[in-house]
Chain A
């Protein structure tokens, strides 16, 4: 094991995703306290042009057509091969849709510990402690890092990217793809983008967002009326979209859209980490929830512990009356 922190670079359509820079920033902050080297692992079909944009001491690149979209099997096998040959101290993988396929697979294959849903990685009394968000964001778990290679899957949107001095240009190394890529059991990988939506919630100035607290599709009408009265567009948490009550284009969060409106008015949304990821940067967040411990209040500017229907109706009365 060497004193090295390794970051798996996530990218889509020729652009590293934001979380990649978050994790490289996190790695550099830890490295500053103990002199570790920061390594970025960059896999893809042709990714040389991305290598210079990564703030790391060393970029290790593997290029192969099967790595084009960072599909699970090819990425996990390539990563495992590199890690096994030269184990680092920490491996940081984003807990995104792509990263979730890789982190647990790699850790189980190498028999290394894995800490998932990591939202903080900090020194406490000379000991590095990872904090994971569990139970829908209601509980935090502090985990001590052992003195052995460890995989960490880190939540997107939680680590700062700013305030880092530009990294000096690191070395760029090229590695051959592992022979196992010739025998993958993934036959094809196709990427599809969504059709254009009726409303682009990422451009809305005001959003009224509803969650499972709304209880039924019929009750959406009330939320729709509140949205209209406020001049806002209606958005939702994932379960409502999964139930088919609203189109995918209205979903806020990790697997939906990231929004940054002037007003985000959340009705009956618990504030699971996957939802917060999509809206916590809104300028003004007002949340109504009957559970005083709902995690949504941790990001809200104003909170109301109440029945959403009562508040919604009272608001409508005022706004329309």
Chain B
């Protein structure tokens, strides 16, 4: 049986972000893309599930960057059996979650999985998270913020994190959708040589789709947070800064 993992490339937020002249998107040429870190956790959780059940993991992604192959080959190198790239006339576009979900639903239905996993959220999902959106469109039960899962007797038992260490464990009938916060263990590492080998031996399947209508909310503009911060920036070399910090803490009775 099949477990589908949906993986998305997103702008690396550790890098400097530039707003495009249009004001309603990032300057995509200045963006460096990474796999959404929660999708990486979703892949890890799927691989762990599959190791226990013998299921086949299929990695699926919408190629909005023209660079998705690397991520999918990495997924194959880590243990996914198949990788599918959804392509169409949306390169460079900022797809809304709703649009992405509509593009993915037919591909997921074709694969007929018993479980779909994806990251709990993405840095750019202005119109909400993918897992609950997919759940609604597929009509399958779901849980998000999942930190571990287990398949048994026609159900998936998913542990969802609330806050302050409180968790909720849900038993969902299959097929189901999970939004993964963190896999049971840190995502596995795969050497680049292994990825290269997979690139020679395996291939990525393609599904060409028609774009869906623009379903995004009416975005007026993007902007940087105002410099409302009162933060006083301390400058100087490390020992000068250390002196200032100690002075500060002493003055407040904190040392």
Residue A35 lies at the interface, judged by CB distance under 8 Å to chain B: no
**Chain A residue nearest in CB terms to B123:** A135
Which of B126, B136, B163 meets A105, CB within 8 Å? B136
> What B residues does A216 contact at CB under 8 A?
none
Residue A100 lies at the interface, judged by CB distance under 8 Å to chain B: yes
In the bound complex, CA of A50 to CA of B242 (Å): 51
Residue contact B17 to A116, C-beta cutoff 8 Å: no
Contacts A103-B132, A136-B123, A311-B238 given; does A108 touch B243 at CB 8 Å: no
> What A residues does B181 contact at CB under 8 A?
255
> What B residues does A317 contact at CB under 8 A?
239, 242
> What A residues does B97 contact at CB under 8 A?
104
In the bound complex, CA of A242 to CA of B167 (Å): 15
> What A residues does B168 contact at CB under 8 A?
69, 71, 189-192
**Chain B residue nearest in CB terms to A153:** B128
List residues 136-165 of chain B with CB under 8 A from any CB of chain A.
136-137, 140-145, 155, 160-165
Closest CB-CB distance, B143 to chain A, in whole Å?
Answer: 6
> What B residues does A143 contact at CB under 8 A?
126, 217-220
Residue B52 lies at the interface, judged by CB distance under 8 Å to chain A: no
Contacts A140-B222, A141-B126, A301-B231 given; does A108 touch B145 at CB 8 Å: no
> What A residues does B124 contact at CB under 8 A?
134-135
Which of A71, A303, A315 meets B234, CB within 8 Å? A303
Closest CB-CB distance, B154 to chain A, in whole Å?
Answer: 9
With a 10 A CB-CB cut-off, give which of B41, B135, B243 has the most chain A CB atoms.
B135
Closest CB-CB distance, B12 to chain A, in whole Å?
Answer: 10
Closest CB-CB distance, A61 to chain B, in whole Å?
Answer: 22
Contacts A102-B132, A242-B182 given; does A310 touch B141 at CB 8 Å: no
> What A residues does B219 contact at CB under 8 A?
141-143
Contacts A104-B97, A270-B14, A306-B241 given; does A72 touch B161 at CB 8 Å: no
Residue contact B136 to A134, C-beta cutoff 8 Å: no
Residue B13 lies at the interface, judged by CB distance under 8 Å to chain A: yes
Residue A173 lies at the interface, judged by CB distance under 8 Å to chain B: no
List residues 233-260 of chain A with CB under 8 A from any CB of chain B.
242-244, 248-249, 254-258
Stretch binding the partner chain, chosen from B83-91, B192-200, B244-252: B244-252
Closest CB-CB distance, B201 to chain A, in whole Å?
Answer: 31
**Chain A residue nearest in CB terms to B161:** A255
Residue contact A113 to B143, C-beta cutoff 8 Å: no
Closest CB-CB distance, B99 to chain A, in whole Å?
Answer: 11
Which of B13, B142, B179, B238 meets A136, CB within 8 Å? B13
What does DSSP make chain B's interface, helix, strand, loop or mixed? Answer: mixed
For chain B, the count of residues having a C-beta within 8 Å of the partner chain is: 82
B 112-136 to A, binary, CB cutoff 8 A, 1 in contact else 0: 0000000011011111110111011
**Chain A residue nearest in CB terms to B253:** A262
Residue contact A72 to B246, C-beta cutoff 8 Å: no
Residue A107 lies at the interface, judged by CB distance under 8 Å to chain B: yes
Closest CB-CB distance, A190 to chain B, in whole Å?
Answer: 5
A 100-129 to B, binary, CB cutoff 8 A, 1 in contact else 0: 111111111100011111000000000001
In the bound complex, CA of A194 to CA of B167 (Å): 8
Contacts A192-B169, A302-B234 given; does A129 touch B220 at CB 8 Å: yes
Residue contact A98 to B126, C-beta cutoff 8 Å: no
List residues 171-224 of chain A with CB under 8 A from any CB of chain B.
184-194, 206
Residue contact B136 to A104, C-beta cutoff 8 Å: yes
In the bound complex, CA of A231 to CA of B246 (Å): 13
**8 new A-B contacts at CB < 8 Å, known A108-B136, A192-B167:** A101-B145, A254-B163, A255-B161, A256-B165, A270-B13, A303-B231, A304-B233, A317-B242
Chain B residues within 8 Å of A, Cβ to Cβ: 11, 13-14, 16-17, 19, 26, 41, 97-98, 101, 120-121, 123-129, 131-133, 135-137, 140-145, 155, 160-173, 176, 179, 181-182, 185-186, 217-225, 228-235, 238-239, 241-243, 245-246, 248-249, 252, 254-255
Q: Kindly list the 9 A-B residue pairs having the minimum CB-CB distance in the complex, ordered from nearest.
A: A194-B165, A104-B128, A314-B242, A108-B136, A136-B13, A104-B132, A185-B173, A310-B238, A187-B171
